[in-house]
Amino acid sequence: MASLLEMKEIFRNADAVCFDVDSTVIREEGIDELAKFCGVGDAVAEMTRRAMGGTVTFKAALTARLGLIRPSYEQVQKLISDNPPQLTPGIRELVSRLHQRGVQVFLISGGFQSIVEHVASQLNIPAANVFANRLKFYFNGEYAGFDETQPTAESGGKGKVIAHLKEQFQFKKVVMIGDGATDMEACPPADCFIGFGGNVIRKQVKEKAKWYITHFDELLKELEER
């Protein structure tokens, strides 16, 4: 296992940095915001807590939550326009600095493609660097399920995405940053995991992550060390 010093070295020399989105890049949990918007907020928030704690499989939790919400295409679009996701302080500067250094930045999320792509556009991250779940709709816009073939729909899916990126781009050093159990389990194949507690602190992640931060300024300072 890498020491904290070695992890910092990996981060400073990373080929790619992968971020979780909900409660990491943005302040809220996208699925909870969608649930509130659709009038089933409390029931879904409880399911999210269980999923993030790692006590149920991610796919089971996602299926159950979406079964309660049943969001229409129109509701998803209206959520994005009326209540756009709030970026976490410092993320814009950090992503910009990583881009300046020639580091590839990816968003890997158990959230929804349409919402995550909106976040990516604000951070100048290309849509091709977004890996998230895709909602499906009938021709009349009603909810028709989600694409279960996406790796991010499964527990362990984020690790599969990182393994795919390493193979496709021959990345030697990949860093994963996130707040939840599904982010921590992506290392390995990620070479370093940085736990993030700036929006919500997950006890399991705080206890187990060797490198745990509460503000992205800590990572910006790390990059200035070099």
Annotated catalytic residues are 20, 22
CA pair distance 61, 146, nearest whole angstrom: 13
Token pair, residue 39, equals 């009038």
Question: DSSP code of 201?
Answer: -
The CA R_g of the chain, rounded to the nearest whole Å, is 17
Q: Which residues pair with 17 in a beta bridge?
A: 105, 175
- Pick the closest to residue 33 from 199, 160, 189, 175 (CA basis): 199
CA pair distance 131, 72, nearest whole angstrom: 21
CA pair distance 177, 106, nearest whole angstrom: 10
Q: Which residues pair with 212 in a beta bridge?
A: 195
| Cβ atoms of 175 and 10 closer than 8 Å | yes
